Structure 1
Amino acid sequence: MADRIEKDTLGEVKVPANAYYGAQTQRALDNFKVSGFTLQKRFIYAYALLKKCAAVANNRTGKLDDEKAHAICSASDEILGGSLDSEFSVDAFQAGAGTSTNMNLNEVIANRATEILGGSRGQYLIHPNDHVNMSQSTNDTFHACLHIAALLAISEQLAPALEKLASSLEFKALEFENIVKTGRTHLMDAVPVTLGQEFHGYAGIIKSNLKYLNESSDYLKELCIGGTATGTKLNASQGYIDAFIEQLNSHTAMDFRAAANIFEAQQNTEAIVKSSNALKSIAVSLTKISNDLRLLNSGPVAGLAEITMPAVQPGSSIMPAKVNPSLAEMLNMACFQVIGNDLVITQASQAGQLELNVMMPVMAFNLIMSIEVLAGAINSFNERCLSGIKANEGRCTSLVDRNPILVTALTPYIGYEKAALVAKEVYVQNKTIKEVVLEMKLMSEYEVDCLLDPKKLAKPDKPSEK
């Protein structure tokens, strides 16, 4: 493959002749052969949008002429369109602050903009630093880019996925509202609930998490853009920040705003930590729901078997006809990843020093991964599993009818101690509560029948039907 020679402040570097990236990107590719993981397309596209908005802002403040601004915007649009994806291969584990990724964007945009103006790659009619990076530093733009990318990913991917999940759970709650089953605490039999009540609870959990996510996401709207290297706004022209924010909001309709305290915003990663914490909360809640559904689905013979999840693929390479709760298991694993990502973000956040946190690349990689993994896992689980869950009503009825803890309903009438004796005799003699109560002559048959109606026990606040 033919090469071209480019130069940076350290000297000459060989770069593939057909590459749009330049010397600093090539150095990063050579130096950081670490994981094979790159920052996500979502992040790269957000950075391209940032560069476009910066070019417009610099043009409006008179620092960048029309021709150069137009060329930078056009090149940025090509990145946003996906035609230059192959130019962004810098490892996610790279030099601190994200300078390598910022320069990757700067060089690709500069070379493509140079072509648009009639030049050739490496000629730099548009300069990566002087023009594409005008009024900017990695220190403000990478941080701001993560806020932009994360907020867009949450609003476009995760929030809709959670809304659909909550809706599906509420639908199932209505579908199962009259199916009475044994409630369980400590994994032991307890007083009855309906299957619908359990699913209604799950829907409430998701709605609560969505509210928390939206509240924490608001912090991402505050950007340290224009702070440049240390928050002093050095080399950023008067009016640049306002022009940038106006341009960004015109493209995203997300109501981004300039940081009230740019020194705080540039060195502090609180918004990122808050968002990651919200994602962890979602993961914890989804793990609980997934585990519950796996328990309720367990069987089909020796488990609870109160629900049946749809069969989506064979469950064993050795046991014929075995079917596993594959999508619930997948959801668990995705949630474990998100919980682990939150720890990485926490550690990276506390590693900030003085005017800058240099651990931004690993925070970006993990935060965007968490959002995208959660959204994808939720959508797959919702569409391929939750929607097809069926209730095994006969099994639910059979178990609740044999539940000795139903005697709890009799305690206001015969007292706690006598109710406990009844429950023990039910266990020992393998009889029904009704049979034992009548044998002990504690109540009449009519009274027992009225008090032990499982539907009334599951919905004590609902008026009795006449």
Structure 2
Amino acid sequence: MASNFRNETDLLGKKEIPKDAYYGINSLRASENFNISNNKVNLNLIYAIVLVKKAAAIAHKNLNELSLEKANAIINACDDILEGKFDNEFITNSLQGGAGTSTNMNVNEVIANRAIELLGGKKGDYSCVHPIEDVNMSQSTNDVYPTALRIAAIKLLRPLSDALSKLQDAFQVKENDFADIIMLGRTELMDALPMMAGQGFGAYAKAFSRDRWRIYKVEERLREINLGGNAIGTGVNASYEYIFSVTDIIQDLTGLGLARSDYPMDVTQNMDVFVEVSGLLKALSVNLIKISNDIRFLGSGPMGGIGELKLKKVQAGSSIMPGKVNPVICEMVSQVSMKVMANDTAISLAASFGQLQLNAFSPLISDSLLESLEILTNAINIFREQCIDSITIDEEKCKEHLESSTAMVTALVHYIGYDKASYIAKKAIKEKKSIKTLIIEEKILTKEEVDKILNPYEITKPGIPKL
């Protein structure tokens, strides 16, 4: 009876590998050693590593450092993987020891076995195409992994930047839509001053414009790669011709403005660039939490809350309270942002734990950073589509809250003085009357004067309201 396994050997001995598997002994050992969760290595990183392998094979082919037959088989195998045909063959856990070596070996083995298959051989026959000697020629995990992580991060940064641009636009649309609606501004959750509802949304748009610009610019720091630097950045075991040509090739394959570092040893060991990128994602998350909570607060109700904003109803909110609808989109955005902030802490710690010429904790950096980029992009798009685009304002409720507050009295201070204004505010609260009514009743100002001073277009812009 034919066996369903093949035998492979490494420095630790022999091991049975499923016969049809494209991964090999190094991948299986890593899968067993780091069997801590169901989370596998992010496929964006896998595909970026495959692109690096393809670039290396093309460079070696052009330089006659790899036979035409082997090089073409490796290149074609890479193309097959990039089409998503072998996603299930990448079996290593996202959190692993060894600075990403297990991930690199997993990619090497899948490429090698697919190349062997394309050449008519049997998987595991590495005399045909070897995972290390051929697929990994002139490379180390330590130049492949940081380069691939930069490529993957840039490819995820761009859709995040686009999502932020659209979110900014959505808030600016609401800024214009609500430009003529006056409402109560609040500080420390207490009544403060009148404002136009559009001004509030304009302030939100401004915050996201800063986030968009910062994220757009930080790509520059990710473009510097150490490919060709090999184990510690010295470039040993890689020819000069290969080192310089492989960078040009990876530029062409990715369409990114990548550049070889003038000091590859720096890129190999120092992870501060990823901390910088993550820090900007944390700053974005701070804004997302603050603004989504503002919207959630202003939309609270429908009867017992603020109720000035009306949010789209997207799903039933309770298994026991009929008719209840919750602001789940805002809550989702906040939770995603909290996760990104937690990831930022992990990235900072992992980057600081690097020692001498290598950081062994780059898998945690990679997993956390790529996750943050993906979930932020998705959350922002949902936030815009399911919440911001459909927000409306209850003008009557805004007017009711404003007129029942003491906010209007501040606009009168220039004319009646602080002490008299304080007296009017206190009396208004006690007698439950509007500021305007009391000013007229007390004959402090005429109705015409009060109407001019409390003109919404006067009291919501710089300067002293005019009579």
TM range (shorter): over 0.9
Match of 1:42 among 44, 60, 76: 44
* Residue aligned with 1:154, SS: helix
- The answer on whether the counterparts of 1:217 and 1:271 sit within 8 Å (CA) in structure 2 is no
5+ residue gaps, structure 2: none
Matches within 5 A, 1:131-210: 131-155=134-158, 157-210=159-212
* Residue aligned with 1:96, SS: coil
Cα RMSD after superposing both structures: 1.5
Q: Distance in 2 between matches of 1:437 and 1:130?
A: 89
In the superposition, relative to structure 1, how do residues 64 and 461 fare at CA in structure 2: closer, same or farther (>3 Å)?
Answer: farther
Q: Shift of residue 264 of structure 1? A: 1.2
Matches within 5 A, 1:104-115: 104-115=106-117
* Residue aligned with 1:97, SS: coil
- The answer on whether the counterparts of 1:21 and 1:111 sit within 8 Å (CA) in structure 2 is yes
Q: How many residues align?
A: 463
CA-to-aligned-CA distance 1:155-183 (integer Å, 9 cap, x gap): 1x211111111111111111111111000
Aligned position for 1:319:
321
Q: Distance in 2 between matches of 1:55 and 1:309?
A: 54
1:257 and 2:259 equivalent?
A: yes
Q: Distance in 2 between matches of 1:15 and 1:355?
A: 34
State the AA in 2 paired with 1:15. I
CA-to-aligned-CA distance 1:372-422 (integer Å, 9 cap, x gap): 010111111211222111111111111112221211111111222221111
Q: Shift of residue 242 of structure 1? A: 2.4
Matches within 5 A, 1:54-69: 54-69=56-71
* Residue aligned with 1:212, SS: helix
In the superposition, relative to structure 1, how do residues 82 and 462 fare at CA in structure 2: closer, same or farther (>3 Å)?
Answer: farther
Matches within 5 A, 1:426-441: 426-441=428-443
State the AA in 2 paired with 1:216. V
CA-to-aligned-CA distance 1:31-55 (integer Å, 9 cap, x gap): 1111111111111111111110111
CA-to-aligned-CA distance 1:422-455 (integer Å, 9 cap, x gap): 1111111212212322333322222111101234
Q: Distance in 1 between matches of 2:405 and 2:262?
A: 61
Q: Distance in 1 between matches of 2:122 and 2:465?
A: 81
* Residue aligned with 1:90, SS: coil
CA-to-aligned-CA distance 1:214-241 (integer Å, 9 cap, x gap): 2222111111111111111011111223
- The answer on whether the counterparts of 1:177 and 1:197 sit within 8 Å (CA) in structure 2 is yes
* Residue aligned with 1:192, SS: strand
5+ residue gaps, structure 1: none
CA-to-aligned-CA distance 1:235-282 (integer Å, 9 cap, x gap): 111122321221122122220111121111111001111111111111
- Please report the TM-score for the alignment, with normalisation by the length of structure 2: 0.96
State the AA in 2 paired with 1:148. I
- The answer on whether the counterparts of 1:400 and 1:454 sit within 8 Å (CA) in structure 2 is no
Aligned position for 1:127:
130
Matches within 5 A, 1:368-379: 368-379=370-381
- The answer on whether the counterparts of 2:184 and 2:407 sit within 8 Å (CA) in structure 1 is no
Aligned position for 2:422:
420
* Residue aligned with 1:7, SS: strand
Q: Distance in 2 between matches of 1:56 and 1:410?
A: 76
CA-to-aligned-CA distance 1:44-71 (integer Å, 9 cap, x gap): 1111111101111222333222222111
CA-to-aligned-CA distance 1:315-346 (integer Å, 9 cap, x gap): 00100000000111111111111000000001
In the superposition, relative to structure 1, how do residues 317 and 255 fare at CA in structure 2: closer, same or farther (>3 Å)?
Answer: same
* Residue aligned with 2:96, SS: coil
Q: Distance in 1 between matches of 2:397 and 2:264?
A: 61
* Residue aligned with 1:239, SS: helix
Q: Distance in 2 between matches of 1:342 and 1:139?
A: 22
Q: Distance in 2 between matches of 1:455 and 1:158?
A: 37
Q: Shift of residue 463 of structure 1? A: 11
- The answer on whether the counterparts of 2:299 and 2:308 sit within 8 Å (CA) in structure 1 is yes
Aligned position for 1:100:
102
Q: Distance in 2 between matches of 1:131 and 1:462?
A: 77
1:244 and 2:235 equivalent?
A: no
- The answer on whether the counterparts of 1:114 and 1:123 sit within 8 Å (CA) in structure 2 is yes
State the AA in 2 paired with 1:382. R
State the AA in 2 paired with 1:153. L
- Please report the TM-score for the alignment, with normalisation by the length of structure 1: 0.97
